[in-house]
Amino acid sequence: MLNLHTCSPTLPFTQFSLHLTNRLSPFATVTFSVQNNARPRPSGPALFVSNAKKLKTEADIDDEEEDAETRSRRRGGGREQYKDYDKDPEFADILGNCLDDPQKAQSKMEDRLKKKRNKILQAKTGSGTPMKVTFNKFDFSNSYIWFEFYNAPLEKDVSLICDALRAWHIIGRLGGCNSMNMQLSQSPMDKRPNYDAIGGANVTPTTFYNIGDLEIQENLARIWVDIGNTETLLLDVLINALTQLSSDFVGIKQLVFGGSEFENWKENLTSEVAGCSVHKV
């Protein structure tokens, strides 16, 4: 016998079917179903979590965009940055020992430098012999400056020389080499530097008036200058720069200030002749 109670709890499933068969009874099979069309509704914390997932603040959206951009960089250019390190297990081993054993890592790095110093350290292409400097009736307002190199300068050497001359001319033209206003270099080092702006402004200015093109014939070169006034500091600045350039990059045998002629220089040669060229400073 089946008893149905009105106070029975709601069945949790959608459809319920019950078949009662009484073999001893002559009655037919009784079939009935309970249909529950209501959707289950989450309650309590589950409802809160469900609603919270639908809400995104602007900060969350920015974080997601930033993460996507970071992943894109890692997939794209990030691998390019570390490609070379992956192919150098020796360097990777050195980096791995930096935190665990710094002294061991330092020792391995020193050994690596000894083995590969020829690839890492480039030998100087200049000359160890000091550059000779002479003066030959130098006129500050109208004179040539002559260069004699140990070898005919290459294109990169000519570019360095032109850059040095251009920088020298710009500093001089702006009055940067005024020996009459040397307040800081002449002040005592044991005291705090003090600069007199009014005194510096009242000093007679010095101006580098004009400079010509750099002319080259084989291992000789010359450039015309019009410094304008007798400012020897300008010459010191140029000599210091060319001395370092001669030592590190291109060997300069001698530097001559003044004179209308110099050794085998030929006035009639043009830049079209082999070994001759003219370069704008």
Residue 97 shares a structural domain with residue 216: no
Alpha carbons 53 and 60: distance in angstroms, whole number: 12
Rounded (10°) CA dihedral 261, 264, 265, 267: 90
Q: Residue 47: its pLDDT value, please?
A: 45
| Tens-digit pLDDT profile for residues 213-231 | 999 999 999 999 999 888 9
Residue 24 in domain: no
Q: Residue 170: its pLDDT value, please?
A: 95
Look at 123 and 89; give whichever has higher pLDDT.
Answer: 89
Number of domains in the chain: 2
Residue 101 in domain: yes
Residue 175 shares a structural domain with residue 89: no
Residue 29 in domain: no
Residue 232 in domain: yes
Alpha carbons 177 and 237: distance in angstroms, whole number: 8
Task: Indicate whether 14 pLDDT > 50.
Answer: no
Spatial CA neighbour of 116 closest among 95, 84, 90: 90
SS3 content of the chain, % helix, strand, coil (to 5): 40, 15, 45
Please check whether residue 173 is in contact with residue 247, taking contact to mean a CB–CB distance below 8 angstroms.
Answer: no
User: Which residues lie closer than 8 Å to 245 by C-beta, 6 or more apart?
Assistant: 126, 160, 161, 164, 252
Residue 2 in domain: no
Residue 177 shares a structural domain with residue 238: yes
Alpha carbons 102 and 117: distance in angstroms, whole number: 22
Name the residue range of residue 86's domain.
61-120
Residue 173 shares a structural domain with residue 244: yes
Residue 67 in domain: yes
Residue 213 shares a structural domain with residue 86: no
Task: Indicate whether 104 pLDDT > 60.
Answer: yes
Residue 173 shares a structural domain with residue 255: yes
Amino acid at 266: K
Residue 268 shares a structural domain with residue 141: yes
Residue 273 shares a structural domain with residue 136: yes
* Number of Cβ atoms within 10 Å of the Cβ of 72: 11
* Number of Cβ atoms within 10 Å of the Cβ of 218: 15
Residue 13 in domain: no
Task: Indicate whether 22 pLDDT > 70.
Answer: no
| Tens-digit pLDDT profile for residues 57-67 | 555 655 665 56
Q: Residue 209: its pLDDT value, please?
A: 93
Q: Residue 72: its pLDDT value, please?
A: 55
Please check whether residue 146 is in contact with residue 262, taking contact to mean a CB–CB distance below 8 angstroms.
Answer: yes
Q: Where are the extended beta strands (E) located within the chain?
A: 15-20, 30-35, 132-135, 143-149, 210-211, 214-217, 220-226, 252-257, 276-279
Q: What is the CATH number of the domain that holds 236?
A: 3.30.1360
Q: Residue 93: its pLDDT value, please?
A: 74
Residue 275 shares a structural domain with residue 137: yes
Alpha carbons 27 and 21: distance in angstroms, whole number: 9
Q: Residue 268: its pLDDT value, please?
A: 82
pTM: 0.57
Spatial CA neighbour of 177 closest among 221, 239, 254, 222: 239
Alpha carbons 224 and 89: distance in angstroms, whole number: 56
| Tens-digit pLDDT profile for residues 237-269 | 999 999 999 999 999 999 999 998 898 899 888
Secondary element (H or E) of residue 118? helix 102-120
Residue 138 shares a structural domain with residue 272: yes
Bridge partners of 216, per DSSP, are 221, 277
Residue 17 in domain: no
Residue 144 shares a structural domain with residue 269: yes
